[in-house]
Amino acid sequence: MNILFYDMGSYTYHDFIYYLKKAGHNCKTVYYHFPDKFHDDFFCDRFTQYLNNTHYDLVISVNFFPLVARLCNEHHIKYLSWSYDSPLEEKLQDFYHYETNYIFLFDRLEAEEYQRAGFSRVFHLPLAVNTDRLDKLVFTPAQIQKHTSDISFVGHLYDSPLETLLYCADTYTKGYIEGILQAQLRIYGANFLNEVITGELLDSINSSFQKLGQTILSLNKSGLSYAIATEITHLERSFLLEQFSELYDTHFYSSAPCQLSGVTFCGPLKYTDEMPCVFRYSKLNLNPTLKSIRSGIPLRALDIMGARGVLFSNYQPELAECFADGEDCIMYSSMEEAVDKADFYLKNDDIRKQIAANGYQKVKAHFNYPQMIEKMFQISEAE
């Protein structure tokens, strides 16, 4: 098939395009970074030229782009998008109804929620990892020494807007949300934020904004849910990093500055070559999932196992369905359990190494690009 691939610098682009070409497809890529992904005349003109000048059977992208969806619909070309972000931005829903869309999400609960809302062009598809590329990586002694640690975490702590959103809320509202936050912080495998955020609660917060003369900002359920989820993620990740740093050689890699005391901050990493070295030579790879990801297996978890690292993750429904705790990866159901399990597995090298080997074999067999691409093409009836 002739495939036009749109990309703006995604992590998985090179792996995705590698397997498309390996399967015999002709692929042309358009690179462009949107200043505004909802309105861009220059991009629309340029992309339209590509669609008019050459026959393409499909347009594909990593993550969903509304202007690409609109233009594909106008030209009657199937548009397949495969997202590693969750949840998707709410404003994107205005573009989901196009009959040329095939929107693939790695979080099953998110996909099912869209389907219940009438978006029949949304499907569940787990993410994939390129073990062929990872297996070919060779690390220098200096790289190995630099990135060897007891525990590592690669990611963000997140800067939640929750405190700002609640700045002018009344005491009852602040207390209610604090109760929600603390309850969700302690419950793994079930996200109930959307169920407990009521219309009355949102009205109360928005009313407090209006009393200060703020009439433009209006908070909705998804916005408040995401703010609480990022605050919970910040608290969990910060707590675990500080606890582990007191006990073990713990490395934290992030592009954002670190304000945590006692944590060995190592800065950002290159995704393709440096990150896999960290995963392979850390005894445990901590990976607390962003709380807004309700059921799915995040890309970082597959990257860790694909690099032959030990995944040390919170309990996540789809992760538990596909991988066995203590055999393929390590899962915890509370922050206290995380501390206990870290102590156990750091003292048992043979068990830990076997977990790394098992996890690698499972992602290689069941979370590879050829299988997932074939599922995409079957669902979209691409020929």
Task: Take residue 204 and report the two structure tokens written for it.
Answer: 């109360």
pLDDT band at 32 (very low <50, low <70, confident <90, very high): very high
Torsion over CA of 81, 299, 330 and 133, rounded to 10 degrees?
110
Q: What mean pLDDT is reported for the chain?
A: 94
Provide the pLDDT for residue 330.
98
Superfamily of domain 2-128+370-380 in the CATH hierarchy: Response regulator (3.40.50.2300)
- Average confidence (pLDDT) over 198-227: 82
Mean pLDDT of 365-381: 97
pLDDT of residue 194: 85
Burial class (CB in 10 A: 0-12, 13-18, 19+), 365: exposed
pTM given for the model: 0.95
Mind listing the pLDDT tens digit for each residue in 223-236? 999 999 999 999 99
Antiparallel, parallel or unpaired: β 149-154 and 122-124? unpaired
Residues of the chain above pLDDT 90, percent: 83
Do 51 and 2 form a contact (C-beta atoms < 8 A)? no
Whether 217 has a pLDDT exceeding 70, the answer reads no
Averaged pLDDT for residues 162-175: 88
Where does residue 30 rank: exposed (0-12), middle (13-18), buried (19+ CB within 10 A)?
middle
User: 63 with 81: CB under 8 angstroms?
Assistant: yes
Helix (H, G, I), strand (E, B) or coil at 89: coil
Count CB atoms within 10 A of the CB of residue 320.
18
Check: CB of residue 252 under 8 Å from CB of residue 259: no
2-128+370-380 and 131-158+230-366 share one fold: yes
Domain spans in the chain, listed from the N-terminal domain onward: 2-128+370-380, 131-158+230-366, 162-223
Query: Mean pLDDT, to the nearest integer, of 105-113?
Result: 96
How far from 355 is each of 160, 323, 328, CA to CA, in Å?
Answer: 34, 10, 5
Please say if the pLDDT value at position 29 is more than 60.
yes
Q: What integer is the mean pLDDT of 356-379?
A: 98
At 214 the pLDDT is: 59
Pair of tokens at residue 5? 């691939």
Q: What is the pLDDT of residue 213?
A: 63
Q: Domain 131-158+230-366 adopts which CATH fold?
A: Rossmann fold (3.40.50)
Per-residue confidence at 258, pLDDT binned at 50, 70, 90? confident
**Average pLDDT for residues 330-355, to the nearest whole number?**
97
pLDDT higher than threshold 60 for residue 379: yes
Q: How large is the average pLDDT for residues 58-83?
A: 97
For residue 164, what pLDDT is reported?
84
Pick the residue with more confidence: 383 or 166?
166
At 44-66, the pLDDT tens digits run: 999 999 999 999 999 999 999 99
Query: What pLDDT does 262 receive?
Result: 83
The answer to whether residue 245 scores a pLDDT higher than 60 is: yes
pLDDT value of residue 215: 56
pLDDT at position 356 is 98
b/e map 185-199, b = 16+ CB within 10 Å: beebeebebeeebee
Please indicate whether residue 351 or residue 206 has the higher confidence score (pLDDT): 351
pLDDT digits (tens, 9 = 90+) for 177-187: 999 999 999 99
pLDDT at 288 over 60: yes
pLDDT, average across residues 287-293? 95
- pLDDT tier at 157, thresholds 50, 70, 90: very high
Task: Identify whether the C-beta of residue 356 lies closer than 8 Å to the C-beta of residue 329.
Answer: no
